Amino acid sequence: MSPSFSGAAIRQAFLDFYAQRGHQVLPSASLVPEDPTVLLTIAGMLPFKPIFLGHRDPEYPRVTTAQKCVRTNDIENVGRTARHHTFFEMLGNFSFGDYFKKEAITWAWELVTEVFGLPPERLVVSVFREDEEAFALWRNEIGIPPHRIRRMGEEDNFWAAGPTGPCGPCSEIYYDFKPELGDEQIDLGDDSRFLEIYNLVFMELNRDSEGRLTPLAKQNIDTGLGLERLAQVLQGVPNNYETDLIFPIVQKAAEIAQVDYFRASPEQKVSLKVIGDHARAVMHLIADGVIPSNVDRGYVLRRLIRRMVRHGRLLGIGEPFTWPVVETAIQLAEAAYPEVREREAVIKAELQREEEQFLKTLERGERLLFDLFANVTATGAPKQISGVDAFKLFDTYGFPLELTQEIAQEHGFSVDVQGFEQEMEKQRQRARAAHQTLDVMAQGSLDELAEFLIETEFLGYNQSSARGVVEALLVEGKSVPQVEAGQVVQVVLDRTPFYAESGGQIGDRGYLAGDGVLVRVEDVQKRGDLFVHLGRVERGILRVGDPVQAQIDLACRRRAQAHHTATHLLQAALKKVVDPSISQAGSLVAFDRLRFDFTLSRPLTPEELQQVEDLVNTWIAEAHPAQVAILPLAEAKARGAVAMFGEKYGAEVRVVDFPGVSMELCGGTHVSNTAEIGLFKIISESGVAAGIRRIEAVAGPAVLEYLNERDSVVRELSAQFKAKPQEIPERVAALQAELRATQKALEEARSQLALLQAEQLLPQAVSVGNLRILVAELGSTPPEALKTAAEHLLQRLGEGAVVLGSVPEAGKVSLVAAFSPAVQQLGLKAGSFIGEIAKLAGGGGGGRPNLAQAGGKQPEKLAQALQAAQKRLQAELEKGGKKPASSSS
């Protein structure tokens, strides 16, 4: 392999070639796209989709990129074919209303034949069947024989952004691996012979809602050259996985598995390739801020990591291994994508945490699945896992459906996916039934009103009071012409200073006053473009069409503003102190507190929390003024404004900027200067979901209330302990130590009591040959003391078996079994025995062959369970123990 044809060299040569032809080289966009309609960046053109759709003007007429992409729609083919991947790099050149077909075709041919040196006789091109212009350019300008220019249909060679919008024909360049077969029967669908390496899209048409095609005012070029595919061709290897872009990762996995890749079995090679492919994908996803979860792109990441782990298990790797493999991927990628090295610590932490968790799930799920395989095989039924069983594995044990399918396929089983979906739908219906509320009815009525009501004009950024007209009144979800004192009402005004709950900030409070009428407003909600004021009529009669003066509660508004601005400062401080990749995952801005959820896979240390709190208070004291502006979305993001992930924004956005500290896209209300906040205090930090942390805090006047409440508690404790405030921790620690000592003494006393009670049970022992068995109930003895008593009794009995039961507290049963070696030699195991007995008392359990504990939930059935234990023990020992058991065996 020539060094000039390394993957890195191919990437750079492509970018340099188009840079020399007037293209601006842009860095790869994130795998987390701005486009809300897709989870991940799946194509090189995706970052430019707004330009192609006419939603955004281009900054440059020509650009070129090496774009990171992730696709998982055909994940089952990864490792099994020569060129399917989840992660791949798409090299592209783009023209926005600048050059068109002639330049695109000429340059593409020059690049692949002169720069990369591919022999023209090894290349075949395709065109859309109706694109005579492209056909003529390939034949006349490039000189390709007509029989090596293949006309293809719309499904292969016509690109469209969607059912409507920009579209156009494509032309593709294919590499021929088997030129010796001749040109007579060229079939581009034969992927064992032909490999598509370069796709040129000529965006020249617009399709309307009726399917009519009309020429675009500006014609665009969108191309894509697969880096891994071209590397396979130029490096002369049989598949993409053996190129220098991936093979070092595969080799690292093989080294850990102690497998020689070139001598590995076909299935071992598949597993090594899957690990090599997925390692690149998970590295880039985590580097771009994705964390493993059970939804959206977080689930894609989790699935990829879990597939890596499982294929490692198939290779015989028993210990965690994903980090060393991904570390190799980082070494390969860091020159082109330095962010993977910058985020190395985060990548490592997320991988290790996810792998450790999944290994437990995998071991348990595989065991259950193999039991199902055995049961189905034993019955002679068709080799299929039922939908009920697949759903139980998913819902109860966290075992993903696709993993069940994959393992089942490997063992010749199918999975009843339709049955699984039916079980899933039943669960959804149960959830929906549990969440029915009257608000649904109110929503429906408001939706009907919204058809003829104009949107509410919001004045609250600059006004605390405003004159408005009542547009609609609703009582219990129904539109009414008037309301009177005592009634709870929803009021829609044509204009209002009241902020409606959105963006995490709760709605304003205040009142509506009119001619002899007063409505106390407790909340404001948004329904589409309508602001709905929820309150109670305190006096008078209010009618549709009445003018009212709307006045917000300024004290509440100031509290909300302080908490909202403090939330922005908190996010900025977390990014600065803890991790710049932290992003918001939810928030609450209330009058009495704030809550901020953010992405992080570990708890904050006490030192980090203190640093964050100190930094926020420093910014407050520095009195940073607010600058609020309405900007085009692209300009706001270009300035560095932080957007809420997953939030949908319009063409123009409101930017709240505290220069040098924080800049966010936000529609909420804020202080005009950070000094207005006063103080900020963190109350707690906790985890709320996998990879999601939560900080609760107070700001402004709420800090004083919080401190007063704490001071009151401290004063009360000081009085009770007769100690100074600073002495309270020491006194509490002493009390805790005293309590632990008392509890230990109590446990010892209970054990001694249980032993005394146990001694009195010895005469009840029954002899079966040379073995003795004792089954008895021991009152309310706690589980640990019950176990001690069983061990003591067995020691006193010699060879034999002891089964004890108790009711330690209301609604609970405790059971324990202790078997001597002679009993175990007869095939009886304490763990399985006591587990079966516990089922009779509504429970279960198990343990070692010599000593095991179990529990139950039906104390009223304890006596029956112990009787069953006595009968079974006696029968088993009589059957297998007629001859004396040797105590020395």
Instruction: Tell me the pLDDT tens digit for each residue of 704-752.
Output: 888 888 888 888 888 888 888 888 888 888 888 888 888 887 777 777 7
State how beta strands 851-856 and 457-458 pair: unpaired
CB atoms within 10 A of CB 151: 15
**Cα separations in angstroms, 217 against 49, 98, 99, 203, 351:** 17, 12, 13, 11, 49
Q: Which of 285-299, 357-371, 543-557, 726-740 has the highest mean pLDDT?
A: 543-557
Interatomic CA distance for residues 467 and 490, integer angstroms: 18
**For the chain, how big is the Rg over CA atoms in Å?**
36
Which residues are bridge partners to 767 per DSSP? 772
Residue 763 confidence (pLDDT): 86
Residue for token digits 């003007």? Answer: 57
Distance of CA 470 to the CA centre of its chain: 44
Per-residue confidence (pLDDT) for residue 468, from 0 to 100: 92
Residue 60: CB atoms within 10 A of its CB come to 15
Sign of CA dihedral 161, 166, 167, 168: negative
Query: Please, are residues 278 and 308 in contact by the beta-carbon 8 Å criterion?
Result: yes
Closest CA to 498 of 474, 534, 528: 534
Give me the pLDDT at residue 881, please.
53
The beta-carbon contacts of 670-673 under 8 Å, at least 24 apart in sequence, are 670/561, 670/564, 670/565, 670/568, 670/626, 670/628, 671/558, 671/561, 671/562, 671/565, 671/626, 672/625, 672/626, 673/623, 673/624, 673/625, 673/626
| DSSP type of residue 437 | -
Amino acid 487: pLDDT: 94
Q: Give the model confidence (pLDDT) of 375-419 as tens digits.
A: 888 888 889 999 999 888 877 666 778 788 888 888 889 999 999
Reported as a pLDDT band with limits 50, 70 and 90, residue 442 is: very low
Contacts within 8 Å (CB) and 24+ apart, 511-515: 511/535, 511/550, 511/551, 512/542, 512/548, 512/549, 512/550, 512/551, 513/548, 513/549, 513/551, 514/540, 514/542, 514/546, 514/547, 514/548, 514/549, 515/540, 515/546
Q: What is the pLDDT of residue 527?
A: 84
Q: Rounded to whole angstroms, how far apart are CA atoms 380 and 562? A: 69
SS (H, E, C) 285-301: HHHCCCCCCCCHHHHHH
Would the pLDDT of 477 be above 70? yes
State the residue for tokens 């293949």. Answer: 150
- What are 26's strand-pairing partners? 65
Instruction: Please write the tens of the pLDDT for every residue from 252-279.
Output: 999 999 999 999 999 999 999 999 999 9
More confident residue, 664 or 733: 664
Per-residue pLDDT, averaged over 607-619, amounts to 96
Dihedral sign (CA 80, 86, 89, 91): positive
- Using a cut of 0.75, tell me whether the model's pTM lies above it: no
d(CA 614, CA 528): 40
Helix (H, G, I), strand (E, B) or coil at 679: coil
pLDDT average, residue stretch 187-209: 90
Mean pLDDT, residues 49-59 taken together: 84
Of 841, 835, 839, 870, the residue nearest 853 (C-alpha): 835
Mean pLDDT lowest among 52-66, 96-110, 740-754, 855-869: 740-754
| Residues 6+ positions from 855 with CB-CB distance below 8 Å | 783, 812, 813, 814, 815, 838, 843, 844, 845
Name which of 349, 355, 280 is nearest 312 in CA terms: 355
DSSP E strand boundaries for 81-184: 87-96, 123-128, 149-152, 158-160, 165-176
Tell me the per-residue pLDDT of 271-316, one tens digit each, with 9 for 90 and over: 999 999 999 999 999 999 888 876 778 889 988 998 999 899 889 8
Per-residue pLDDT, 735: 82
CA distance 240 to 724: 72
Average pLDDT, the chain: 88
Nearest-10 crossing angle of helices 266-287, 296-314: 150
3-class SS at 855? strand
Mean pLDDT of 229-236: 95
End-to-end distance of the chain based on CA atoms, in angstroms?
Answer: 68
Burial profile 284-313: b = 16 or more Cβ within 10 angstroms, e = fewer: bbbbbbbbbbeeebbebbbbbbbbbbbbbb
Residue with more model confidence, 445 or 761: 761
| Res. 455 pLDDT band, cuts 50 70 90 | confident
Would you say residue 165 has pLDDT above 80? no
CA distances from 173 to 16, 114, 118, 126, 200 (A): 20, 15, 11, 7, 8
pLDDT at 371 over 90: no
CA separation for the pair 739, 749 (Å, rounded):
15
Kindly list the strands in the beta sheet with 692-699, ordered across the sheet, starting from the edge strand earlier in the chain.
Answer: 584-589, 594-599, 692-699, 680-689
Of 118-122, 258-262, 515-519, 788-792, the poorest mean pLDDT is in: 788-792
Instruction: Give burial (CB, 10 Å; 0-12/13-18/19+) of 700.
Output: buried
Residues whose CB falls within 8 Å of the CB of residue 259, separated by 6 or more in sequence, listed in order:
268, 272, 315
**Mean of the pLDDT values across residues 675-682?**
95
Model confidence at 36, in pLDDT bands (50, 70, 90)? low
**The pLDDT value given to residue 440:** 24
CA distance 654 to 666: 6
Looking at 115-129, 165-179, 484-498, 633-647, which range is the least confident one? 633-647
Helix, strand, coil percentages, rounded to 5, for the chain: 45, 25, 30
| Nearest-angstrom CA–CA distance, 862 and 173 | 78
Specify whether the CB–CB gap between 249 and 328 falls below 8 A: yes
Coil, helix or strand at residue 681: strand
Q: Cα(648)–Cα(224) distance, rounded to whole angstroms?
A: 29
Residues 176-191 pLDDT 10s? 999 999 888 889 989 8
Q: Are 845 and 834 in contact (CB under 8 A)?
A: yes
User: Can you tell me the distance from the alpha carbon of 536 to that of 554, in angstroms, rounded to the nearest whole number?
Assistant: 19
